[in-house]
Amino acid sequence: MRVLSDASVVTVYGPAPKEFENTELCRSLPVSSLLRELMLAAADVSLNHEPNDRNGRLVEMISSEVSWLLSQARGLSLQSAMPRDPRLIRVCKDMLKEFDRSESIDDAARAAGMSRRTFTRTFRRETGISFNAWRLRVRLNAAICRLNAGASITEVAFECGYNSPSAFAAMFKRCLGAPPSEYLAGFNQVTGKLQ
């Protein structure tokens, strides 16, 4: 896992919400104020608890809040799996260092020392998505982190390789269902972050 901004990690194990049954999906969600407090309280819960005691109810509330957050999530998943092939890893690491890179698939394949066809097939096999889709997710993740850190939409647009803030906003809306300002307002409302 690569974290693009300052983060705190708390791991809580509990029953999977219905949305995760029979799947190996990994999802990231904004953590609401309620979920944050529930997770901190659950950090001290023993694994041996009864369903109806305080600890059991705490775990049930966490599961319920995660289910609610999953229902609120919109747009495309921003998970960006890293490939295992060392040649592809090198290309991806370069992209993670410079989000504004806009080389073609042919350029990326050349950098990996592969033919275009081998590059695209190997990349899709190892990540589950195309190189262009992966690059878009990486840029969106970086953009959201920068916007949450207080950067302006204009700054983020240019940092992510877009020629104008309007082109960036159009892509953002197409992928996430809302322009950057509305998306952040919704994110801040869910997480309880002050604007």
Listed by start position, the domains of the chain span 18-72, 86-191
The pLDDT tens digits for 42-77 are: 877 777 777 788 888 888 888 888 887 777 655 445
Question: What's the pLDDT score for residue 64?
Answer: 85
Write out the two tokens for 66.
């995660």
Summarised one tens digit per residue, pLDDT across range 103-120 is 889 999 999 999 999 999
CA dist., res. 195 & res. 187, Å (int): 10
User: Per CATH, the architecture of 86-191 is what?
Assistant: Orthogonal Bundle (1.10)
Which residue, among 81, 105, 113, has the nearest Cα to 2 in the 3D structure? Answer: 81
Question: What is the reported pTM?
Answer: 0.63
State the Cα–Cα distance between residues 109 and 93, nearest whole angstrom: 14
pLDDT value at residue 195: 38
The answer to whether the CB of 94 falls within 8 A of the CB of 101 is yes
Q: Are 146 and 158 in contact (CB under 8 A)?
A: no
| Residue ranges of the chain whose pLDDT lies below 50 | 75-76, 190-192, 194-195
